[in-house]
A and B are shown apart, each in its own frame.
Chain A
Amino acid sequence: MLPELGSFSLILALCLCGILGTLPMVGAHTGNQVWMNLARPLAAGIFVFLGIGFAILVYAFLTDDFSVSFVAQHSNSMLPMRYKFTAAWGGHEGSFLLWTFMLAGWMFAVGVFSKSMPIDFVARVLGVLGLISFSYILFMLATSNPFDRIVPLPPADGADLNSALQDIGFILHPPTLYMGYVGFSVVFAFAIAALISGRMDAAWARWSRPWANVAWAILTIGIALGSWWAYYELGWGGWWAWDPVENPPLITWLFGTALVHSLAVTEKRGVFKSWTILLAILAFSGSLLGTFITRSGLLTSVHAFASDPDRGFFILGILGIAIGGSLLLYALRAPLMKADAGFELVSREMFLLANNVILVVAAASVFLGTLFPMVYQAITDDLISIGPPYFNAIFAPLMMLLVVFLGVGPLSRWKRTSPAYLVAQLSRVALASLVLGVLIPLLVLLEFSLAASITLLLALWVIFSIARDMADKTANKKTRVAGLRSLSWSYYGMQLAHFGIAVMLVGVSLTSYFSSERSVLLDIGGTVELGGYRFDLVDSRRIEGPNYFGEQVEMTVSRDGEVFRVLNPERRLYVASGTPSTEMAIDAGLFRDLFVTLGEQRDSGAWTMTIYVKPFVRWIWLGAIFMAFGACIAAGDKRYRRLRVRETRTAGSPSSEVMQPAS
């Protein structure tokens, strides 16, 4: 009975979305206050009904209701409770429900935190989000209802959750990623509402910015969690594989990064308006593309859900309507936008433009590499794959260029900066980072690697220019402390995020160039040395878990003759599904990770295993955390709150805010 109620609440939510997508929009057009005021309660209602649906699905998992097909496929009576809970998003249907529920959560949040915006604008934003949710719920009910039953004979037990997903990383990664992904739907809705209403001013940018920042921060964390999970769960010691399913979040993230910067220009200077709108559309398209690639099963990937072509066509339909429709609207409306101010060749606007161009080019090349095999197959019928070398060859130089601009941008002034000023500010920064970038790897690691030196140099370039800028901005105050206090939250947020880039850069470069790994065949009592550490295989024993059994080996790790850590990598066999799985053992550290994965045991009793020493790998995720924090701090800036109050006061006289048609 309950699962039917689940389906029913999805249908109710669908109906509410249908109303939300039409009435408030029409109301906003005709000036019907009652219809516009429907938007907030409707958004809340959708949130509640999708919440009920999701709760019922979780309940079906917790109570082992294997008559529900989705539960039977992704759970098992022996599965530990916490994984029964998370199995609700362990497959296509449930994860799509979670996705839709998250979108409803964002809609609800927009309803709550939009008190200061004019009601017609809120009605349009929520109306657009309602239309998006409508298509998602329709898709779910038509092709992948999580509440479908197995009739007449339900199985006695479920097939179990994929063993790679029985893990903390999996508990966190998909919800965070979805949350960030769908967050860009909100920014998209703001953009579409702006296009419809013709309201494309600084106030609009100010409303959008906190939402864009928060969505971007969550997406950053979501991607970092995925990278971390892949690192320790998939057991190949890598943190990024350019997998076709990893790429769409990255594409969205790149567009999102460009958008966050472009919005800043639109807010502060009133330029780049149509470009900002276009980026919002692109970031949203990236999130739809990610859905399409993951759920259509068209590309070979470790993530792909077992698939069904109907779903692919359905999502392609949504993709076509959403992107086509919004681009059409854009084409009709964008020519009306007019820049409020000019700027010169050397100015902060120009550096931010460079940032945007590089990010968009990077996104486009990742997009090309991801979809090329699919297009190639459609044309020639041959199957191909594109390896990481392609992506590295393009992505690395672009990011380096981006980081060069990143050092200059924050120091430059809006509208016009004299090149002489920049040279004076940055010549010492450049010199210091050059010298240290070459010296540090040489002294610490006693090795010279050109690539490592270049990336380290760039990281130092960012850090020193941040320091230079802060010193500069506090120089005129009485004391340094007073100077530091006078800087705004959004300034600190920006610098923290930029510092995160530098930290990540250090991590990426040192891990990539100085990691070592060795695959060996080891008997009990055997020893292997790697990167100055000595690994002894001491013992192996059988283990038994709640829904698996397996073997565990004990390895001691020593340095300079002193044992400092015991590692216990495992090899498990999950009973219900019969799938084997390896559990890595990691000694994590700020400066290096030691990482052991266990292969199979040979007939002779010897174990196959791979040992990795990965310097600075944690810095990659640490950098992402800084970036996300920075974005959140910036979103909490006083001026968004303060100006909101002023906005409400002037909301009655919008004449000056409405954009003028370009002559």
Chain B
Amino acid sequence: MKPHRQKRLGIILFIAVGLSLAVGLTLFALRQNINMFYTPTQVAAGEVASGVQFRIGGMVKAGTIQEDQGSLRVSFVTTDYASDVPVQYEGILPDLFREGQGVVAEGQIDSAGVFHASKVLAKHDENYMSPEVKAALDAAGASPENHMMQPET
């Protein structure tokens, strides 16, 4: 084989090996790390098996935040105004976590229907509603405007 052919073959082989390695790794990693998103209605209907990692999004139901006095355990109810799902979390909640505001939690559901969150997300910008929460409310036929909390005075 001529040297420049050999070089070209080398380059092509190198790129092919690199690419297939990357594609393989990517697909493997993607399969492992997709978090599906469910609405409280879907979760309450039992659409998710226990032990599966997923995200749930809805509003924090007013009057349901309960803090354990002796530890960092917190429980609240997330709702899409059609169904409710109780959530438990141990840790510090984000600044913008409040009753009547949207919340997205990541974690697993147990057999009793309680969601154990490993992560709770609330947003930077309070005018901004995460597409996930909005989708959950739309799916349940509840527009957030009808249920918006009155601004604090």
Using a CB–CB cutoff of 8 Å, the interface residues on chain A facing chain B are: 162, 164, 235, 297-300, 302-307, 342-345, 350, 353-354, 357-358, 361, 364-365, 368-369, 372, 382-387, 389-390, 393-394, 397-398, 519-521, 577-582, 597, 599-600, 602-604, 606, 608-610
Asked if B96 contacts A580 (CB within 8 A), the reply is yes
Residue-wise, chain B 15-55 has the 8 Å CB interface mask toward A (1 for contact) of 10011001001101110111111000000000000000001
Asked if B128 contacts A306 (CB within 8 A), the reply is yes
Task: Give 22 pairs: A residue, B residue, CB < 8 Å, sorted on A.
Answer: A302-B123, A342-B4, A345-B10, A354-B14, A357-B15, A365-B22, A368-B26, A368-B30, A369-B26, A383-B37, A383-B135, A384-B37, A385-B35, A386-B30, A393-B25, A393-B33, A394-B29, A579-B96, A599-B92, A604-B69, A606-B69, A608-B72
In the bound complex, CA of A265 to CA of B36 (Å): 45
Using a CB–CB cutoff of 8 Å, the interface residues on chain B facing chain A are: 3-4, 6-7, 10-11, 14-15, 18-19, 22, 25-26, 28-30, 32-37, 55, 67, 69-72, 90-93, 95-96, 104, 123-128, 130-132, 135, 151-152
A365 contact set on B, CB distance < 8 A = 22, 25-26
Asked if B29 contacts A521 (CB within 8 A), the reply is no
Asked if B32 contacts A393 (CB within 8 A), the reply is yes
Asked if A305 contacts B128 (CB within 8 A), the reply is yes
In the bound complex, CA of A302 to CA of B96 (Å): 12
Asked if B92 contacts A608 (CB within 8 A), the reply is yes
Given A302-B123, A385-B55, 9 more contacts at CB 8 Å?
A299-B131, A302-B124, A344-B7, A382-B36, A385-B37, A390-B30, A390-B32, A393-B33, A604-B69
In the bound complex, CA of A188 to CA of B13 (Å): 30
Asked if A345 contacts B6 (CB within 8 A), the reply is yes
In the bound complex, CA of A344 to CA of B151 (Å): 70
Q: What's the nearest-Cβ distance from chain B to residue A304, in Å?
A: 6
In the bound complex, CA of A385 to CA of B34 (Å): 6
Q: What's the nearest-Cβ distance from chain B to residue A454, in Å?
A: 17
B69 contact set on A, CB distance < 8 A = 602-604, 606
In the bound complex, CA of A343 to CA of B10 (Å): 12
Asked if B34 contacts A520 (CB within 8 A), the reply is no
Asked if B25 contacts A397 (CB within 8 A), the reply is yes
Asked if A384 contacts B25 (CB within 8 A), the reply is no
Asked if B35 contacts A386 (CB within 8 A), the reply is yes
Which A residue's beta carbon lies closest to that of B37?
Answer: A383
In the bound complex, CA of A372 to CA of B33 (Å): 12
Q: What's the nearest-Cβ distance from chain B to residue A299, in Å?
A: 8
Using known A-B contacts A342-B4, A602-B69, determine if residue A300 contacts B32 with beta carbons closer than 8 Å: no
Asked if B29 contacts A578 (CB within 8 A), the reply is no
Asked if A398 contacts B95 (CB within 8 A), the reply is no
Using known A-B contacts A385-B37, A389-B32, determine if residue A519 contacts B91 with beta carbons closer than 8 Å: yes
A350 contact set on B, CB distance < 8 A = 10-11
In the bound complex, CA of A344 to CA of B3 (Å): 8
Asked if A578 contacts B33 (CB within 8 A), the reply is no
Which A residue's beta carbon lies closest to that of B125?
Answer: A162
Q: Give 3 closest A-B pairs by Cβ, nearest first.
A: A383-B37, A599-B92, A390-B33
Which A residue's beta carbon lies closest to that of B19?
Answer: A361
In the bound complex, CA of A368 to CA of B34 (Å): 13
Residue of A306, A342, A364 near B127 (CB, 8 A) is A306
In the bound complex, CA of A636 to CA of B71 (Å): 58
Q: What's the nearest-Cβ distance from chain B to residue A642, in Å?
A: 33
In the bound complex, CA of A385 to CA of B70 (Å): 34
Using known A-B contacts A162-B125, A387-B35, determine if residue A599 contacts B29 with beta carbons closer than 8 Å: no
In the bound complex, CA of A609 to CA of B91 (Å): 9
Residue of A343, A389, A578 near B151 (CB, 8 A) is A578
Asked if B71 contacts A521 (CB within 8 A), the reply is yes
A343 contact set on B, CB distance < 8 A = 7
Which A residue's beta carbon lies closest to that of B69?
Answer: A604
Asked if B34 contacts A361 (CB within 8 A), the reply is no
Using known A-B contacts A342-B7, A393-B29, A582-B95, determine if residue A358 contacts B18 with beta carbons closer than 8 Å: yes
Asked if A303 contacts B132 (CB within 8 A), the reply is no
